[in-house]
């Protein structure tokens, strides 16, 4: 085969690849339905919000709830857009520590743009970023911990498909609009004083006190706090 034939063959392969990628992107886009897009286009402006505004996520295991907060343009503070039921999560209260323990993570995480999967077998999915620096400092193992659809999970937060479409679309739009990452604060329950007293004998109380610092700071300021890990402990700034 001469060089001309090689080049022509390569061009044909590249064209076929571009077509396949285009088909895949089209199929992925269709998973967020027009119904979802139109619904959000109606509801967001009522609260002074728009698709593409920054997003912040909080999850609560015991209550089986996921909160989606958004930042209004021109304001540093976030407002609660919607609270979604978590269809299913596996494990009990407490952090995920090792591969195969079927636990859902607790801690401070972040969704990056490359963590979105529009072609997931769970309808749509996004990797929350476990293990983070805290988890690694404690030797915790595991990977591919998601928020996804299809209401079925092992170690993930499973949502209904209608719910995951809204969550995915708003997160994807925020990242495309310049948000560096979407913080995900995963809690065992609302870390108010009553609940902390209820679980005062838990072996995870000290860990939950670290999480409570972030929970309280956001509740007071409505701005996602800066989180660092120092000497194996969360530091809330």
Mean pLDDT, 10 residues at a time, the chain of 237 residues: 51 41 47 96 98 98 98 97 95 96 96 96 96 98 96 90 97 98 98 97 98 98 98 97
For the chain, how many structural domains are there in total?
2
The boundaries of the domain holding residue 5 are 1-30
CATH code at 95? 2.40.440.10
Q: Are residues 172 and 193 in the same domain?
A: yes
Q: Are residues 99 and 200 in the same domain?
A: yes
Q: Are residues 48 and 20 in the same domain?
A: no
Q: Are residues 21 and 98 in the same domain?
A: no
Q: Are residues 106 and 5 in the same domain?
A: no
Q: How high is the pLDDT of residue 15?
A: 44
Q: Are residues 48 and 66 in the same domain?
A: yes
DSSP the chain: --HHHHHHHHHHHHHHHHHHHHHHHHHHHTTS-HHHHHHHHHHGGGGT--TTS-EEEEEETTTTEEEEEEEPTT-S-EEEEEEEE--EE-S-SS---STTS-PPP-EEEEE-GGGEETT-TTSSEEE---S-HHHHHTT------EEESTT--SSSEE--HHHHHHHHHHHHHHHHTT-S-EEEEEESS---HHHHHHTTT-TTHHHHHHHHHHHHHHHHHSSPPPEEEETTEEEE-
Whether residue 228 has a cis bond before it, omega within 30° of 0: no
Q: How high is the pLDDT of residue 154?
A: 83
Q: Are residues 73 and 162 in the same domain?
A: yes
Exactly one of 87, 123, 156, 185 is catalytic; which is it? Answer: 156
Q: How high is the pLDDT of residue 3?
A: 58
Q: Are residues 2 and 52 in the same domain?
A: no
Exactly one of 87, 148, 185, 190 is catalytic; which is it? Answer: 148
Would you call 148 a catalytic residue per the annotation? yes
Q: How high is the pLDDT of residue 174?
A: 98
Q: Are residues 21 and 46 in the same domain?
A: no
Q: How high is the pLDDT of residue 98?
A: 96
Q: Are residues 188 and 115 in the same domain?
A: yes
Q: Are residues 22 and 45 in the same domain?
A: no
Would you call 190 a catalytic residue per the annotation? no
Q: Are residues 12 and 119 in the same domain?
A: no
């Amino acid at each position: 085969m001469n060089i001309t034939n090689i080049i022509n063959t390569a061009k044909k392969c590249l064209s076929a690849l571009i077509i396949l990628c285009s088909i895949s992107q089209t199929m992925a886009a269709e998973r967020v339905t027009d119904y979802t897009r139109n619904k959000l286009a109606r509801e967001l402006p009522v609260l002074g919000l728009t698709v593409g505004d920054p997003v912040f996520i909080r999850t609560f295991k015991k209550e089986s709830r996921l909160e989606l907060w958004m930042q209004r343009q021109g304001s540093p503070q976030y407002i609660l857009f919607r609270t979604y039921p978590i269809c299913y999560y596996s494990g009990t209260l407490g952090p995920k520590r090792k591969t195969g323990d079927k636990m859902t993570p607790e801690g401070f995480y972040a969704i990056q743009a490359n963590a979105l999967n529009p072609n997931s077998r769970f309808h749509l999915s996004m990797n929350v970023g476990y293990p983070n620096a805290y988890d690694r400092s404690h030797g915790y193992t595991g990977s591919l911990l998601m928020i996804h659809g299809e209401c079925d999970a092992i170690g993930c937060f499973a949502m209904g498909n209608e719910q995951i479409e809204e969550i995915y679309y708003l997160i994807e739009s925020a990242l495309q609009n310049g948000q560096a990452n979407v913080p995900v604060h995963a809690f065992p329950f609302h870390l108010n004083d009553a609940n902390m007293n209820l679980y005062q004998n838990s072996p995870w109380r000290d860990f939950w006190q670290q999480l409570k610092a972030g929970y309280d700071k956001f509740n007071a300021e409505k701005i996602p706090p800066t989180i660092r890990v120092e000497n194996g402990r969360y530091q809330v700034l």
